Structure 1
Amino acid sequence: MRRSVWVRSGIIAIFLSVCSASAQTEQTVQELNNLIDDAIFFTDKYITPATDAAVYQAASGWISTPKKSNLWDFTAGLYVNSFLVPESDRQFRLSNSDFSFFTIEGTDSALTPSALGNDAFVTLTGTLNDEPVVVKSPEGVNRETIIYPYIQTALGLWKGTEVIAKFSPQITLKHVNYQVYGVGVKHNLSQYFKGLDAHKFSIAALAAYSKEDITVEFLDVETAYGNLGFTALNSLIDTWQFQLNAAKEFARLELSAGLILNTSDFQYEIQGEKGAVEAIVPLHSIVNERLREIYKTKSNAIGELSARYQFRRFFLQTSVAFGKFVNSNISLQYKFK
């Protein structure tokens, strides 16, 4: 009789232990879901100004001149791009009401830098499986002007058509890596209107595709399960662009104006070494799938003005693109014959 009581007591103890472990696991999974919700919200606020800016940086400078090119004319140029970071895109406001998992340490609301912001930060705290989680929000590039170089080439084909390619090496700014490359086709339109050529007017249209690749240092989340592996956030942007430019020559000086219309698709992916929490839940895969919620497509209308001066086979050019942002570049080009 006593042995039977002990057996029943043992079974009950095991059952209660299993139920307790199951409840604890369920609580942990819910806490992770809340953490993911907060990470998605924060990602959108933090990275969007930088990705919007990247589109502007990639959009300008494609047409060095709308003049008709001759077959096999080849021009190569070194460009230096300069992007002015607007004050309004350098930070955003966080409130505790925005979060399900985190709270802002010491306050209910705070300004925190975007990827284009300064090196300030806020501390976010939460609890995962009854263990504290403390995260420092990511910092920005801490620059008022972002400058980077790139190479652009143009090759003349038949009937006033040119193929254009641009490429920048990967640029490392503070907490941010950036790269852009693309290809376009320009066609001269003024060749069909003889009166325009006679008065030194030229018009051209461009269709182009570019890829912008941005990786930022992100959320370094340490937990009882180890680091969650959110240490880097990558954004890939596919931009399709149409552009119309017109120019007037004054001896060696050419002044031009253009209208740029583009559409960009934005995608995001968390990168970093996976933590031990992956044994409970495939966190990386879940987060990257959830990031699809903030994938977006945006369109821009951008104006562009430029001036190009020729001396022998060299050309010195400066241009400015304007709309939501202001982006400028200066280049030195050489035309091979």
Structure 2
Amino acid sequence: MKKLSILTSLFVFVFSNFGSAQTTAQFEQIGYLLEDALLYSKQYLIPATDAAVYQASSAWMNSAKKKENWEINVGIHGNMFFVPKSDRSFTISNSDFQFLQLEGTETTAVVPTAIGNDDTYYLVGDLDGQQVRLKTPKGVNQETINYPYLDVSLALPSGTELIGRFSTKTNLKRGYYQVYGVGLKHNISQYFPSLEPKKIHISAMSFYSNEDISFDFLDVNTSYGNLGINNLNGIVDTFHYQLAVSKEINKFEILGSFIVNSSMFNYVVSGEKGAIEDIIPAQQIINQLLDTIEKRKTNYIGEIAVNYSLNKFNFLSAFAFGKFFNYNLGVSYKIN
């Protein structure tokens, strides 16, 4: 909180030049309100962005085999993320906040994260004798989060394959989710001739994905106008590295993979600016505060997949596991 206090002090200093001591105190209270919103946003959105990384990691490799040069495959997938109970809620306490308090006599409450249920509570505060009352944001209230996406692959010479995926914005109950990415796969087993007769294949892959997840956030009205922090975005840039080993059994190919990814998280409030922007740049200030929680995370993920080939069609079922669980089902068609 030290860095936040410094920013609040700077915030108060700037606006102290434009009003009386009483006005300065009012701006100080708004600063505390923004810090409380930041504290809430961290615990509310981070489980959802962590989950988004898992959703973007699954089913990139539908086969570890070396494909024929210039072979093109186009596929459509359905992804299902299982929301864990441990990430659906967090506890808030009056002692956590500088401006806001729980309405009523309760001093603590268990509230939903962005991937939690739709329970709501009210938080209140006093700004220059006027009550500020806001409803805590709801979660998606789903045990699974599903989204479709397209992928396209092109087999290049020397056992290399270029793969891309894209999803349109998938509407969630309180926002949306979108992902796109590109990667390169290279067959390693081609360098070990003894593996081919045994129908054992080994491939390595590296890929990049961008995940954009958005949720409705805090609708805060004050006597100075709405704060304009109604929407909260998590934008995640992730680099993935995958090693897969597969075994062919008739028309089936069974794959086992180990995936390591490194993600950079960035959080921003977006959407229509509030009326308070006529007095203070509230969105800019809270986005500067959100920069203080931007950080990198590393995940280790296992994946088991089964691939079934039927003429020019390929059917894939993949299950990823680690901190979370994710299931993917897809079908692709070989164009040439």
Q: TM-score, normalised by structure 2?
A: 0.93
2:264 counterpart residue number: 265
Partners of 1:153 and 1:278 lie apart in 2 by 44
Deviations, residues 283-313 of structure 1 (Å, cap 9, x unaligned): 1111111101111110000000000111111
Are the aligned partners of 1:225 and 1:275 in contact in 2 as well (CA < 8 Å)? no
| 1:60 counterpart letter in structure 2 | S
- Quick one: distance in 1 between partners of 2:39 and 2:295? 14
Q: 1:30 aligns with which of 28, 31, 48?
A: 28
Cα distance, 1:31 vs. partner? 0.2
Q: Write the deviation string for residues 176-232 of structure 1: whole angstroms up to 9, x where unpaired.
A: 210000000000000000011111000000010000001110000011111110110
Partner of residue 94, structure 2: 96
- 46, 50, 56: which one aligns with 2:48: 50
Aligned to 1:287: 286
Q: Deviations over 1:140-178 (max 9, x none)?
A: 111001111111111000100000000111000100210
Counterparts of 2:60 and 2:307 in 1: how far apart (Å)? 13
Q: Distance in 1 between matches of 2:281 and 2:62?
A: 49
How far off its partner does 1:281 sit? Answer: 2.1
Structure 2 residue corresponding to 1:80, chosen from 78, 81, 84: 78
Q: State the shift of 1:278 in Å.
A: 2.3
| Secondary structure, aligned partner of 2:116 | coil
> Pairwise mapping of residues 155-170 of structure 1 onto structure 2 (< 5 A)?
155-170=154-169
Matches of 2:184 and 2:80, distance apart in 1: 24
Question: Separation in 1 of the partners of 2:326 and 2:175?
Answer: 19
Question: Which whole-Å CA distance do the structure 2 matches of 1:150 and 1:274 have between them?
Answer: 32
> Following the alignment from structure 1 to structure 2, what is the Cα–Cα distance between the partners of residues 154 and 162?
7
Match for 1:239: what amino acid?
Answer: T
Tell me whether 1:196 sits opposite 2:195 in the alignment.
Answer: yes
Cα deviation for residue 277 of structure 1 reads 2.3
Letter of the 2:27 partner, please give it: V
Aligned residues: 320
CA distance in 1, matches of 2:279, 2:129: 16
CA deviation vs aligned residue, 1:68-110 (integer Å, no higher than 9, x gap): 0121101111100000000111111110011001001121000
Q: Percent identity?
A: 46
Q: Which amino acid aligns with 2:264?
A: D
Paired residue secondary structure (1:263): strand
Could you tell me which of 45, 53, 68 is aligned with 1:70?
Answer: 68
Q: Structure 1: which 4+ aligned runs deviate by more than 3 Å?
A: none
Cα deviation 1:258-282 (Å, max 9, x = unaligned): 0000000000111132233223322
Contact 1:90-1:118 within 8 A present in 2 as well: yes
Please name the residue that 2:302 is paired with.
303
Unmatched tracts of structure 1, length 5 or more: 1-17
**Cα distance in 1, alignment partners of residues 152 and 277 from structure 2:** 46
CA distance in 2, matches of 1:120, 1:305: 36
How far residue 129 of structure 1 moved from its aligned partner, in angstroms, is: 2.3
- Secondary structure in 1 aligned to 2:290? helix
* C-alpha distance in 2 between matches for 1:305 and 1:180: 22
Code of the aligned partner of 2:64: P
Question: What amino acid is the match of 2:138?
Answer: E
Matches within 5 A, 1:1-337: 22-106=20-104, 107-337=106-336
Structure 2 CA distance, aligned partners of 1:178 and 1:147? 10
User: Are the structure 2 counterparts of residues 273 and 24 from structure 1 closer, same or farther at C-alpha, using a change threshold of 3 Å?
Assistant: farther
Aligned equivalents of 1:291, 1:331: Cα separation in 2: 37
Contact 1:230 1:271 in 2 (8 A): yes
Alpha-carbon RMSD: 1.4
Q: CA deviation at 1:130?
A: 2.0
Distance in structure 1 (CA, Å) of the matches to 2:273 and 2:22: 22
CA distance in structure 1 between the aligned counterparts of 2:58 and 2:149, rounded to whole angstroms:
12
| TM-score normalized by the length of structure 1 | 0.93
**Cα distance in 2 for residues equivalent to 1:269 and 1:128:** 25
Structure 2 CA distance, aligned partners of 1:275 and 1:86? 35
Match of 1:6 in 2: none
Deviation of the 1:235 alpha carbon: 1.2
